[in-house]
């Protein structure tokens, strides 16, 4: 068996969170050796596709207090308020740092950083680089990370398991795609930055790689997953492909209409269309710029009333940006135009864009504190795979990119300190675990030549069960049905056989390992969704339609006890903002000086 590949810190993931964490470790202690393991080339990470922008207070009309309040109320009070306060305070520093590293933030005519409105943010605070923000941010992070010689890049290596000895985490087992070699990559700390899990559902904006691997690895190692019942549907995906039309389209003034050309959102407690000459400009704070959970729920209600349009890919409504004019669309939303032309066959300068809700983001993830620490010493998580939690029951658009930076950096800094005093790993114990995992993968996938099941059918059945049972609206019965189907899919997965038994670039094997992860993540989502008998944010239980703070102002934790998933609970941290009603529109609960 090949030797262990030894480092001090192992980072799994080369997206915004992983790269920010890597830079943080290298800056804190240049003597540490850092492995950056990524199943795809880092610049292909899903971060690259983020369009709209990243939130941080920068303008004189804004304040930390406002950003904190928007985030907490947007989260339906399930966010930990200490984490939100810290996040909001560190956000402008992180985005400014990115500016210094070369990120080309779009500018106002006077040369200052421009901001745009975003859903649920009642004051404009979203920094952007046209509508290709993620691309520019990831480029900036990657080129900065390349400066540090202490980083070793494991591009196209797939982590399959955490190495744990006693009560500490010491690295990962990873498969090199090019050679098929399965090796141990060890360190005294591991930071999981593996992104989200939208692919658990059939219709998603998420890249094919977003399969919840890090969440599954943590769960299997006994670390709880927090708030997994909260799955964000973005209200404006292109029917058929699920490609995202960014919220920036509405931030710049786009409106949404139903089949009668009516701005239906005014019927759903999100404010009324205001006079366009009103200094509070209508689209900035009301209706189309309500939070994503409420907009997606409004779509379902319109559909039930028969007021949506019907197309080959199901029901849809229209997002109209024609009134912005060609010049502004080209300047501020060039990518929206490109996507609509290429994938919907329409030019939004002349025609409205067909859209429908699409799975976009998982609010839940690996349970961490504000330094990215988990209950397992040496294991950290940051970015979309983690749940700190600042997003609670509903994330506000543009908080996520900033979250990757703030908490990626904090996890990196903490891990750099931790490894200085953590005990050395016992190499022979770890080597044995690597051998066992390699043998498991060979036996279960590569050497198995027969079986009853195909990967694709099991995956599709799981995805459809999740959409049907754990979608925008759920009931006990619908989630129970999804759970039973997911359990059945897990059994059927054991009977899956692969056609490709080669070792080099065996992408079928990677798909199998990803599906194995998604099945675990789906299971956690179902258990959490069953246990939360209330409606809050993105979790709408039609059999329990109200928010129930008395019993459920708590984080759910799904944890494996003796191999069986159990749901436990953890208090939400409330500092200054007692639970209140979420208000949007003119009387939105915005601090009075901003009304």
**Which residues are part of the catalytic machinery?**
234, 250
| Residue with smaller CB distance to ligand FAD, 210 or 541 | 210
Q: Which is nearer to ligand FAD, 209 or 389 (CB)?
A: 209
Sole window of 50-58, 221-229, 459-467, 487-495 interacting with ligand FAD (rule: CB under 6 A): 50-58
Least distance to ligand FAD, CB of residue 441, Å? 13
* Interface mask toward ligand FAD for 358-387; x: CB under 6 A: ---x---------------------xxx--
Kindly tell me which residue out of 400, 433, 540, 588 binds ligand FAD, with binding defined by CB under 6 A.
Answer: 400
Nearer to ligand FAD, 264 or 335 (CB): 335
Determine if 486 is a binding residue for ligand FAD (CB under 6 A).
Answer: no
Q: What share of the chain is helix, strand, coil (3-state, %, to 5)?
A: 40, 20, 40
Within a 10 A sphere around the Cβ of 169, how many other Cβ atoms?
27
Kindly tell me which residue out of 144, 296, 398, 433 binds ligand FAD, with binding defined by CB under 6 A: 398
Which residues ranging from 151 to 170 are in contact with ligand FAD (CB under 6 A)? 158-159
Under the criterion CB under 6 A, does residue 54 sit at the interface with ligand FAD? yes
Interacting stretch for ligand FAD, rule CB under 6 A, among 49-57, 143-151, 281-289, 420-428?
49-57
- CB of 390 or CB of 483, closer to ligand FAD: 390
Q: Which residue has 């054991």 as its token pair?
A: 494
3 state SS of 377 = strand
| Closer CB to ligand FAD, 71 or 205, in the complex | 205
**23 binding ligand FAD? (CB under 6 A):** no
Cα 447 from Cα 589, distance rounded (Å): 61
Write the binding mask 24 to 43 for ligand FAD: x where contact by CB under 6 A, - elsewhere.
Answer: -------------xxxx-x-
Considering only residues 235 through 274, tell me which ones interact with ligand FAD, judged by CB under 6 A: 244
Quick one: 17 or 465, whose CB is closer to ligand FAD? Answer: 17
Q: Which two tokens stand for residue 153?
A: 């890049």
Does 47 interact with ligand FAD (rule: CB under 6 A)?
Answer: yes
Rounded to a whole number of angstroms, the minimum distance from the CB of residue 476 to ligand FAD is 30
Q: Is the peptide bond before 389 cis (omega within 30 degrees of 0)?
A: yes
Q: Residue 5 pairs with which residues in a beta bridge?
A: 185
Q: Would you count residue 57 as binding ligand FAD (CB under 6 A)?
A: no
Considering the complex, state which of residue 153 and residue 577 has its C-beta at the smaller distance from ligand FAD: 153
Residues 6 or more apart in contact with residue 365 via CB below 8 angstroms: 196, 215, 225, 226, 227, 228, 381, 384, 385, 386, 387
Which of 53, 74, 224, 254 contacts ligand FAD by CB under 6 A?
53
Q: How far apart are CA 468 and CA 472, in angstroms?
A: 9
3-class SS at 501? coil
Six-digit token pair at 332? 């501020």
Give the Cα separation of 404 and 449 in Å (integer).
42
CB of 102 to ligand FAD, least distance (A): 18
Smallest distance, Å, CB 243 to ligand FAD?
8
- Tokens 């407690």 map to which residue? 269
Whole-angstrom Cα distance, residue 178 to residue 506?
Answer: 8
Pick the binder of ligand FAD from 22, 25, 35, 49 (CB under 6 A). Answer: 49
- Cβ-based nearer residue to ligand FAD, 290 or 383: 383
Helices (H), 4-111: 16-28, 64-74, 81-100
Query: Could you give the 3-state DSSP secondary structure of residue 402?
Result: helix
Window contacting ligand FAD (CB under 6 A); options: 13-21, 77-85, 302-310, 481-489: 13-21
Q: In the sheet where 115-116 sits, what is the strand order? A: 54-55, 126-127, 115-116
The answer to whether 113 and 244 are in contact (CB under 8 A) is: no
Q: Per CB under 6 A, does 14 bind ligand FAD? A: yes
**Token digits for 154?**
């494991």
DSSP state of 29: -
Helix axes 334-343, 325-332, angle to 10 degrees: 100
* Near ligand FAD by CB under 6 A: residue from 401, 509, 522, 523: 401
Can you read off the two tokens belonging to residue 26?
């290298």
Residue 15 or 224 having the CB closest to ligand FAD:
15
Classify 333 as helix, strand or coil. Answer: coil
Cα dihedral 216/222/223/229 (nearest 10): 60
Number of residues that bind ligand FAD (CB under 6 A): 46
Q: Give, in order, the Cα–Cα distances in Å from 203 to each of 241, 511, 537.
A: 8, 18, 20
Q: Closest approach of Cβ 214 to ligand FAD, in Å? A: 6
Degrees (nearest 5) of the Cα angle 297, 301, 307? 130
Among 81, 144, 194, 463, binds ligand FAD (CB under 6 A): 194
DSSP code at position 582: -
Q: Is 134 in the site for ligand FAD (CB under 6 A)?
A: yes
- Residue whose tokens read 């710029």: 289
Which stretch in 56-64, 208-216, 364-372, 539-547 sits in contact with ligand FAD by CB under 6 A?
Answer: 208-216
The rounded radius of gyration (Å) of the Cα atoms in the chain is 23
Determine which residue in the list 5, 10, 17, 83 makes contact with ligand FAD, applying CB under 6 A. 17
Please identify, using beta-carbon distances, which residue of 116 and 582 lies nearer to ligand FAD.
Answer: 116
Query: What residues from 295 to 334 belong to the interface with ligand FAD (CB under 6 A)?
Result: none
Binding site for ligand FAD (CB under 6 A): 12-18, 37-40, 42, 45-47, 49-54, 133-134, 158-159, 193-196, 205-206, 209-210, 213-214, 244, 361, 383-385, 397-401, 404
């Amino acid at each position: 068996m090949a030797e262990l590949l030894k480092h001090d810190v192992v980072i799994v993931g080369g997206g915004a969170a992983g790269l920010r964490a890597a830079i943080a470790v290298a800056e804190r202690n240049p003597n540490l050796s850092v492995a950056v393991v990524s199943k795809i080339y880092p610049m292909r990470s899903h971060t690259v596709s983020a369009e709209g922008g990243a939130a941080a207070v920068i303008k004189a009309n804004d304040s930390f207090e406002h950003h904190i309040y928007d985030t907490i109320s947007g989260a339906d009070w399930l966010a930990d308020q200490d984490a939100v306060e810290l996040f909001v305070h560190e956000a402008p520093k992180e985005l400014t740092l990115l500016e210094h590293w070369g990120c080309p933030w779009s500018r106002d005519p006077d040369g200052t950083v421009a901001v745009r409105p975003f859903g649920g943010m009642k004051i404009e605070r979203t920094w952007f680089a046209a509508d290709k923000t993620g691309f520019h941010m990831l480029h900036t992070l990657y080129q900065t990370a390349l400066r540090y010689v202490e980083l070793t890049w494991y591009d196209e290596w797939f982590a399959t398991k955490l190495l744990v000895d006693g009560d500490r985490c010491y690295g990962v087992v990873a498969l090199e795609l090019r050679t098929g070699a399965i090796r141990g990559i060890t360190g005294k700390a591991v930071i999981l930055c593996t992104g989200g899990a939208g692919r658990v559902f059939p219709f998603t904006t998420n890249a094919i790689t977003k399969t919840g691997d890090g969440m599954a690895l943590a769960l299997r190692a006994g670390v709880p997953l927090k708030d997994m019942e909260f799955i964000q549907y973005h209200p404006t995906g292109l029917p058929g492909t699920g490609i995202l039309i960014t919220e920036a389209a509405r931030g710049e003034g786009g409106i949404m209409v139903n089949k009668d050309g009516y701005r239906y959102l005014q019927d759903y407690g999100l404010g009324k269309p205001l006079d366009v000459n009103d200094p509070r400009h209508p689209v900035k704070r009301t209706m189309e710029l309500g939070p994503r959970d409420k907009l997606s729920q409004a779509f379902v209600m319109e559909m039930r009333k028969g007021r949506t349009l019907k197309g080959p890919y199901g029901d849809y409504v229209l997002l109209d940006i024609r009134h912005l004019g060609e010049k502004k669309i080209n300047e501020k939303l060039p990518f929206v135009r490109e996507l609509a032309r290429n994938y919907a066959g329409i030019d939004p300068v002349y025609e409205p864009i067909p859209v429908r809700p699409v799975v976009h983001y998982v609010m839940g993830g690996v349970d961490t504190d504000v330094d990215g620490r988990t209950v397992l010493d040496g294991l950290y998580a940051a970015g979309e795979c983690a749940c700190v939690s600042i997003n609670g029951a509903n994330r506000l658009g543009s908080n996520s990119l900033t979250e990757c930076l703030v908490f990626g950096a904090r996890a990196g800094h903490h891990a750099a300190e931790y490894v200085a005093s953590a005990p050395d790993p016992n190499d022979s114990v770890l080597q044995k675990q690597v051998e066992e995992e390699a043998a498991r993968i060979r036996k279960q996938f590569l050497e198995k030549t027969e079986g009853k099941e195909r990967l694709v059918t099991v995956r599709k059945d799981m995805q459809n069960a999740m959409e049907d049972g754990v979608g925008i609206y759920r009931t006990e019965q619908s989630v129970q049905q999804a759970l039973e189907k997911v359990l059945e899919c897990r059994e059927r997965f054991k009977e899956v056989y692969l056609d490709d038994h080669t070792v080099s670039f065996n992408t079928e094997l990677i798909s199998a390992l990803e599906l194995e992860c998604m099945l675990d993540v789906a299971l956690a989502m179902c258990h959490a969704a069953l246990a939360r008998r209330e409606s809050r944010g993105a979790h709408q239980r039609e059999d329990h339609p109200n928010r129930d703070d008395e019993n459920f102002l708590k984080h759910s934790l799904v944890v494996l006890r003796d191999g069986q998933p159990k749901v436990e609970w953890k208090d939400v941290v409330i500092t200054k903002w007692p639970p209140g009603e979420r208000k949007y529109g003119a009387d939105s609960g915005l601090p009075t000086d901003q009304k």
